[in-house]
Amino acid sequence: MSELVPGGNLPLPGGPLTLRVPGPFDMSALITDDGGRVGGDGDFVFYNQPSAPGARLRGDTLTLDPPRLRAGATRVTVVVSPAEPGTGLDRLPAPALRVTDTGGRPLARFTPARPDRETVLLLAEVYRRGPGWKLRALGQGYADGLAGLARDFGVDVVDDGPPARVPAVVVPPRPAAEPDDDGFLGLVNSARARAGSPPVALDVRLAGAAREHAAAMAAAGRLGTEGRDGVSLYRRVTAAGYVYVTVGEHLVSGPRTPADFVAYCLRNDGPRRTLHDPAFSHAAVGSAHGGRSGDVYWTALWARPLTPGDLARTTAEVVGLTNRERARAGLRPLAGDPALTAAAQAHSADMVARDFYSHTSPDGSRPWDRAAAAGAGRRSIGENIACGQRSPAEVVTGWMNSPGHRANILRREFTHIGVGFAGGGRSGTYWTQVFGG
């Protein structure tokens, strides 16, 4: 069974699968095409409309048979919201997604970070890739409620309550004030100063990527780190020429001005921590109007550029945290190995460049092949990979919470290690550990 992180994905076997989220939540699903839009109100599966071709909702379990979805459907977005109206997700435990195949065999598990005050969480999506289907973990909070989410996907709803089965009434777009693009940096740096954090500078490369992504979300009518063209926010950043060692983002719809946007960030714990984070040195924001909805879509980016020194410090911190876990288990520390380091760095960079996430490269090479090609002469080789984590502490913690990755870290026979890191791609960050013994 795969333990997924935000942005992580895995291929799905053929046939039906079940997605279950136990607890005080309502599940729902939106069936869309490549453009991220529903074909009609019947593509919204929820407690009052529990079935559609290829999809059926029963209590806390959604059963999907992807090949039986309606013609043109290429994506199913799985959504959770509090079962008790008026309850914020921050007052509930983090929803835990469990995915099994038709025989009940576990395929994947995903537990996102506990949401802030959002009332809806885009938890995961099942999407078609070539002839097959894949599952991607999302964990994206949404502040406009279930009705607002449905509208942004193209469902016509009467009001902000749960959509009904009766024919829907089209809601005319709300008039939007012209967003003021000035003053964002001053507001941000004022808030950072109050928190004791150094100021951030505007970077034109980040600004271009932010505007481009905001426009992509507005065109699609939905929030997300990937546009309808399949280009991720992080790839837009690196394509603009900004190579980062750490990155953060806020994707929000609704605020009308930079002041409203910054106020939203400061009201919510997660966004506020990002805005205050002293690790960032640059920032930028972009906004765009969202078609028929009239909403304003915002993308804010926070980052620090990658230098050779930053890369060395980041990978050294991963080694140090790994050896701390080995020391707690009574094991000898791992020594750095230049050949293993070269193999690890090359694999992280390759996953970004060729847009995949796997121990097997598109050319068929496996960890031991890459280690040998880099000049490593170790008899045994192991590899851990991860994507989406924003710091060495976060990635090592994630590996230690996964039995297979933990076993590699604590394997007595391993004596050496190499670590690689690259930013970009669909998930933002890609990490690799290569072990040798």
- Check: pTM over 0.75? Answer yes or no: no
Per-residue model confidence (pLDDT) at position 289: 84
Per-residue model confidence (pLDDT) at position 57: 92
Per-residue model confidence (pLDDT) at position 84: 78
Residue 232 has which token pair? 């991720």
Per-residue model confidence (pLDDT) at position 144: 57
Residue linked to tokens 């709803």: 157
Residue linked to tokens 């009201």: 267
Between helix 308-328 and helix 392-400 the angle, nearest 10°, is 30
d(CA 212, CA 237): 10
Between helix 258-267 and helix 269-276 the angle, nearest 10°, is 110
pLDDT along the chain (437 residues), means of 10: 78 91 90 78 84 91 92 90 78 88 88 74 87 86 65 56 32 32 82 93 90 90 84 89 90 88 89 93 90 79 86 93 97 95 92 90 92 91 93 94 93 96 89 95
- The vertex-25 CA angle with 123 and 117, nearest 5°, equals 70
Q: What is the pLDDT of residues 238-267, one digit of tens each?
A: 888 888 999 999 999 888 888 898 998 999
d(CA 253, CA 312): 37
Q: What is the pLDDT of residues 94-122, one digit of tens each?
A: 889 999 988 889 999 988 877 666 678 88
Per-residue model confidence (pLDDT) at position 181: 41
Per-residue model confidence (pLDDT) at position 161: 39
